C-alpha cells in the first residue's frame, strides 16, 4: 500500500488533489483507493491535510496516515511549524511547491529521502489558474508527483481531472500538470520520463 499525504492551507485545494489522485489510481486499475481530508480550524489559510491511500488490493484501513510514503507540500511555509520530512517513512518521497532546489528540504544528513521541487506558483500564473486571486498549485503538484513516483501515469491524472472538473477546467489544469511534470527538479536525478 502507498500512503500519500497532502499538506497545504485552506483554499489551496489539498482535498481536490487527493480526490483527483484517488480517481486517477482507480482508473489506472488499483483495487484499493481511499481519499480523506483532515481538518483543523476550518478557515481559509489554516493548515490542513488530506490523504490518499492506493493499493493493489482492497483497503481496510481508514485511520489517519502517520508515516506516509509520500508527502506533497503546497506551501513551503508549513515547514516552519511542522516536521513534514521527519514523518516520512524510510526511502520516502517529499514533493514541495518551491523555486528552491530539492536538497534544501532534506533534513540533516539523511540520504534516505528523495526530494523534488517545482515552482507551481509560476506554472499556475502561466496557465492563469487562480481561485479568489490566489494561484492554484494543487494540480501542477499532481504532475510533479507523476514525475517522481512510478505509481501513477499522467494519462490517468488527466482522466481523473475529467471526473472532478468541467471539461475546460480539466484541460487547463492538465496542461499545468504536464508542464510541472516536465519542470520538476529531483535530487539525485531527473525522475521518470513519460
pLDDT per residue rounded down to tens, the chain (194 residues): 999 999 999 888 999 999 999 999 999 999 999 999 876 655 667 888 999 999 999 999 888 899 999 999 999 999 999 999 989 999 999 999 999 999 999 877 666 899 999 999 999 999 999 998 899 999 999 999 999 999 999 999 999 999 999 999 999 999 999 999 999 999 876 566 65
- Could you tell me if 32 and 55 are in contact, meaning their C-beta atoms sit under 8 angstroms apart? yes
- Note the CATH number of domain 2-186: 3.40.920.10
Nearest CA-CA partner of 34 in 23, 48, 46 = 23
**Per the confidence metrics, is the pTM higher than 0.85?**
yes
| Whole-number Å distance between alpha carbons of 98 and 120 | 7
| Whole-number Å distance between alpha carbons of 5 and 87 | 10
Confidence (pLDDT) at 24: 98
| Whole-number Å distance between alpha carbons of 17 and 90 | 24
Question: How large is the angle between the packed helices 14-28 and 154-164, nearest 10 degrees?
Answer: 120
* Lookup result for grid cell 518551491: 98
Amino acid at each position: 500500500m502507498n500512503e500519500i499525504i497532502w499538506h497545504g492551507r485552506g483554499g489551496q485545494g489539498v482535498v481536490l488533489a487527493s480526490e483527483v489522485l484517488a480517481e486517477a489510481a482507480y482508473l489506472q486499475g488499483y483495487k484499493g483507493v481511499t481519499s480523506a481530508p483532515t481538518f483543523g480550524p476550518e478557515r481559509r489559510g489554516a493548515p490542513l491535510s488530506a490523504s490518499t491511500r492506493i493499493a493493489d488490493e482492497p483497503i481496510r484501513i481508514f485511520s489517519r496516515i502517520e508515516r506516509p510514503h509520500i508527502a506533497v507540500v503546497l506551501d513551503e511555509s508549513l515547514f516552519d511549524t511542522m516536521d513534514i520530512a521527519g514523518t516520512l517513512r524510510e526511502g520516502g518521497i517529499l514533493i514541495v511547491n518551491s523555486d528552491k532546489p530539492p536538497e534544501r528540504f532534506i533534513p540533516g544528513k539523511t540520504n534516505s529521502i528523495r526530494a523534488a521541487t517545482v515552482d507551481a506558483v509560476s506554472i499556475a500564473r502561466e496557465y492563469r489558474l487562480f481561485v479568489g486571486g490566489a494561484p492554484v498549485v494543487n494540480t501542477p503538484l499532481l504532475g510533479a508527483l507523476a514525475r517522481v513516483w512510478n505509481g501513477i501515469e499522467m494519462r490517468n491524472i488527466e482522466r481523473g481531472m475529467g471526473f472532478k472538473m468541467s471539461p475546460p477546467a480539466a484541460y487547463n489544469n492538465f496542461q499545468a500538470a504536464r508542464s510541472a511534470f516536465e519542470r520538476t527538479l529531483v535530487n539525485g536525478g531527473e525522475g521518470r520520463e513519460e
